[in-house]
Amino acid sequence: MLQKPVGPDPAGADSPFASTTPPRFVGPKLPPMSSARTLVKDALHAAAAPADPILLQGWVRTRRDAKGFSFIELNDGSCLKGVQVIARDTLPNYAADIGRAQTGASVEVRGRLVPSQGQGQKWEVVAESFVIVGDTDATYPLQKKGHTLEFLREIAHLRPRSNLFGAVFRVRSRLAYAVHQFFQEKGFAYVHAPIITASDCEGAGELFRVTTLDPSHPPMTEAGDVDFRRDFFGKRAYLTVSGQLEAEVFACALSNVYTFGPTFRAENSNTSRHAAEFWMIEPEMAFCDLQGNMDLAEEFVKHLIRDAREHCAADLEFFGKFVDKDLLARLEFVLERPFQRCSYTDAIDIITQSGRKWEHPVIWGDNLQSEHERFLAEEHFKCPVTVFNYPRTLKPFYMRVNEDGKTVRAMDLLVPGIGEIIGGSQREERLDVLRENLAHHKLSEKDYWWYLDLRRHGTVPHAGFGLGFERMLMFVTGVGNIRDVIPFARTPGNAEF
Amino acid sequence: MLQKPVGPDPAGADSPFASTTPPRFVGPKLPPMSSARTLVKDALHAAAAPADPILLQGWVRTRRDAKGFSFIELNDGSCLKGVQVIARDTLPNYAADIGRAQTGASVEVRGRLVPSQGQGQKWEVVAESFVIVGDTDATYPLQKKGHTLEFLREIAHLRPRSNLFGAVFRVRSRLAYAVHQFFQEKGFAYVHAPIITASDCEGAGELFRVTTLDPSHPPMTEAGDVDFRRDFFGKRAYLTVSGQLEAEVFACALSNVYTFGPTFRAENSNTSRHAAEFWMIEPEMAFCDLQGNMDLAEEFVKHLIRDAREHCAADLEFFGKFVDKDLLARLEFVLERPFQRCSYTDAIDIITQSGRKWEHPVIWGDNLQSEHERFLAEEHFKCPVTVFNYPRTLKPFYMRVNEDGKTVRAMDLLVPGIGEIIGGSQREERLDVLRENLAHHKLSEKDYWWYLDLRRHGTVPHAGFGLGFERMLMFVTGVGNIRDVIPFARTPGNAEF
């Protein structure tokens, strides 16, 4: 056990904050102290009651006083549930301290794990001692239920202590790990794409500029422009919108790679699905075509759902109860059914022949709108569907042009309730076609010299995609606003904490 | 197998770049194609030769022509070594194509795995067909050995194809995974700390500003200052220098957490150990003191070294041969010996009583310089050493003040050859002392309202540390310059790729 109990000195410290002073010594480390912390999740899942008392450390969720004793629900964030602690009035500090065990106070309890009399719990703890480690007061905002999500965003530093957000951030952590496990077990190398970059992957998009220039008095050129040669990087620099182009570099060396890092969009849009800062996963595979790419994307999405169900069962159950009643059935459904695939051309036929009235009628060559994507996934196919081979005119310069000259090997994976969750493509590996595309998109070959080099020296067919991590979390938790699956969300006007 | 072979159409495509067109269909996905790619690492480690020919896809490292056949060393980045391919002149396209199998060209080989006649390899492949997928020419820069590291930095898009950088980035990927495994298996939750932030953890430091304002014509206030209320976030925003304060929020809810993300310093220093963008790992534990923190830091460092030795043996052997002859012995030594611990006060005594002449003589209250840190780790203790309990005046506001009032519960883990690799502390959990510290450091309580709130509501002793991921990589690989362990390094004047 790595952690030592920290708390009042048994010899009698005068402050509830007192803790043992690290010894001043030179030499090998001391043997671990005898009684170490037990996490609530381990206590609740104990196969048998340990002979010795256990040490629990956490926060009071609720307290109920009865005649002769109090019930304290102690939560330490290790799992959704708290453990019920019974503090009898025979404890020496009961009379003095039990009133301080308010919702939000931190406590340290030593006691015996005993079979619970109550329903829905296997074990409870009979306290042999309890100590208030840190007090709180009536201003603690999480005392009552029924706060709005909007209010909880304003106290993003406290909301992880609530049931909902504890569950969200445990799932976020577990799914991030599942991402790494999925790729590492397939032999993919994890690549840290640069965050600050002078290139703009999409050839468009709204960028955050990164600078150390004095905003009020930037150095100027003789022509009267800001002199970015004197900025930190010697030129304009931005926050990345995608690590794809850099991932391609590594796929063309290590074969199979993935990125997982923050990406940024300076879009001034206040929707429930957009944030200025979000995490993206971008695998890239050499010697892989669009079909291999679709295979991987589908396998990946299923893996994440399966992993969450296996490792976050209690948290998902909570979401199914309090956030989205259809959640568990939907996840089950997605796992059981094979995903569908449908070319863009067929998708247009399906949409136009559906007999529906559309807010945005489409013909071949138009972008699919949210209403069309949701119709395909939720009503027509009734399951996740990958739409592929989009019109060349709709897509960025790097996508591989098909033999028809009109479509590119793009793919979008659409899921019920969310819409697009993955976008990807086979990349254009032919130097001549790529140069044409750059020219067509009015991009300079000079800016992409190294990207073109990949096609000059041992070019290979390759493909990849991007999964927005937060969108996946919204899908798996049923949480409807991206702000509520990010620890500290960044949106227009918001960079608090 | 997730990947489909992609390459010339067996029916006879006219371009080496031709690949199968994804079928236009609506329905469940097709069964996998019959012959899938074998990675070089799997071929080299095969227990027995498979009955059927295998498909290898990768890049030519070298080719040697003999009478009647050629040897091609094919590398696909899955491991350091390539596999030797024997192409006989009886292959139908031998005469026409073998000359194109130049260093750097991409090839696809089908052939039988057979026991190798040569030394140092168990298997080789006798080609039944070979196809040049992508040509190269004499301008390919990685043809000859002996390029300088400086030159290779200028071709960061190609250097991962070299032995050295392939090895570095495989180790980087593996160690990143080892970080997650270490913490996840201990039940720590992974937290994505925000990258864009309005707070400055250290209360100092050189920051990158993030903005969407027009640099030439920013909006101005009536007082003639730049009007940051009209910037994207409604105020000045920066790139984070540390996720610690936000990790503390989550430790005070989920108990044990860690961050692993990019952090930034706009220091205008061109040293071999500083980059403007680097990745940092920051665990944070509730109910943990400085000793628990030191225990975890030491266990963590050993875990990473052990993991690299176990999973990247061939790559480490390569570093030991070509980068740093002492590397393997040093790693062995660090694993075998217990780490030492030494208070700052004792360290000062050891340094002043050593009889050495110091470039920077120190007395109690001074910062330890690099020469002192290296003396402690490399000469005095001859092993990694954790120095703890530093003078309060040297350290940031958030470190816990000891009972002596003069020192704080800080710790630095020093390793031979690198110096400081980890810095951490127990945090000040007492509201009154923290407020004093803020005032002392001339920081505003208004800016830290949420950080203070953690001490108002159920405060707990807690501790954590930061490990610079690149420093750890330098230690494990022996590579001497931080630019050479980062895919695309960002330093003053450099944001290429």
Per-residue pLDDT reduced to its tens digit, A393-442: 999 999 999 999 999 999 999 998 888 999 999 999 999 999 999 999 99
> How long, in residues, is chain B?
497
- In angstroms, the separation between the Cα of residue B88 and the nearest Cα of chain A is 22
Q: Tokens 């895919």, residue?
A: B487
B72: tokens are: 């091609």
- pLDDT higher than threshold 70 for residue A33: no
- Selected residue of B1, B4, B6 to mutate for chain A interface (largest A Cβ count, 10 A): B6
List CB contacts (< 8 A) between B109 and chain A: none
- pLDDT higher than threshold 80 for residue B14: no
C-beta atoms of B277 and A194 within 8 A: yes
What are the distances in angstroms from CA B378 to CA A130, B180, B361, B440? 46, 30, 18, 36
> Do B106 and B88 touch, CB atoms closer than 8 A?
no
| Range 316-335 of B in CB contact (< 8 A) with A | none
| Range 138-157 of A in CB contact (< 8 A) with B | 139-140, 155-157
The backbone region for A359, taken as left when phi is positive above 0, alpha when psi lies in -120 to 50, beta otherwise, is: alpha
Q: Where are the alpha helices (DSSP H) in B354-418?
A: 370-374
- State residue B34's pLDDT score: 38
Distance CA B471, CA B419 (A): 9
List CB contacts (< 8 A) between A208 and chain B: 196, 210-212, 232
- Selected residue of A460, A483, A485 to mutate for chain B interface (largest B Cβ count, 10 A): A460
A197: tokens are: 């970059």
Q: What is the pLDDT of residues B398-446, one digit of tens each?
A: 999 999 999 999 999 999 888 899 999 999 999 999 999 999 999 999 9
- pLDDT higher than threshold 80 for residue B13: no
Q: Enumerate the β-bridge partners of residue A340.
A: A385
Output the 3-class SS for B131-159: EEEECCCCCCCCCCCCCCHHHHHHCCCCH
> Do B375 and B351 touch, CB atoms closer than 8 A?
yes
Phi, psi of A371 (to 5 degrees): -60, -35
Rounded mean pLDDT of B218-223?
94
Q: Strands B69-75 and B83-88, how do they pair?
A: antiparallel
| Range 387-446 of B in CB contact (< 8 A) with A | 388-389, 402-403, 409, 429-430
- In angstroms, the separation between the Cα of residue B308 and the nearest Cα of chain A is 14
- Residues B166-182 as b or e (16 or more Cβ within 10 Å = b): bbbbbbbbbbbbbbbbb
A108: tokens are: 């340290």
- Selected residue of A25, A38, A287, A407 to mutate for chain B interface (largest B Cβ count, 10 A): A287
- State residue A26's pLDDT score: 36
Percentage of the residues of chain A whose pLDDT score is greater than 70 = 91
Q: What is the pLDDT of residues A63-74, one digit of tens each?
A: 999 999 999 999
C-beta atoms of B494 and A194 within 8 A: no
Q: What is the pLDDT of residues A147-166, one digit of tens each?
A: 999 999 999 999 999 999 99
CB of A210 within 8 Å of any CB in chain B? yes
CB of B310 within 8 Å of any CB in chain A? no
List CB contacts (< 8 A) between B28 and chain A: 338-340
C-beta atoms of A459 and B106 within 8 A: yes
Per DSSP, A375 falls in state I
CB of B353 within 8 Å of any CB in chain A? no
- State residue A121's pLDDT score: 86
- State residue A113's pLDDT score: 96
C-beta atoms of A226 and B216 within 8 A: yes
Percentage of the residues of chain B whose pLDDT score is greater than 90 = 86
Nearest CA in chain B to A259: B173
- pLDDT higher than threshold 50 for residue B22: no
Q: What is the pLDDT of residues B142-155, one digit of tens each?
A: 986 779 999 999 99
- pLDDT higher than threshold 90 for residue A31: no
> HSE on the CB side for A489, CA within 13 Å?
24
The backbone region for B146, taken as left when phi is positive above 0, alpha when psi lies in -120 to 50, beta otherwise, is: left
CB of B13 within 8 Å of any CB in chain A? no
List CB contacts (< 8 A) between B264 and chain A: 195-196
CB of A497 within 8 Å of any CB in chain B? yes
Phi, psi of A277 (to 5 degrees): -130, 125
Percentage of the residues of chain A whose pLDDT score is greater than 90 = 86
A220: tokens are: 């100027």
Rounded mean pLDDT of B221-249?
95
B418: tokens are: 């690198």
The ipTM estimated for the assembled molecules is: 0.92
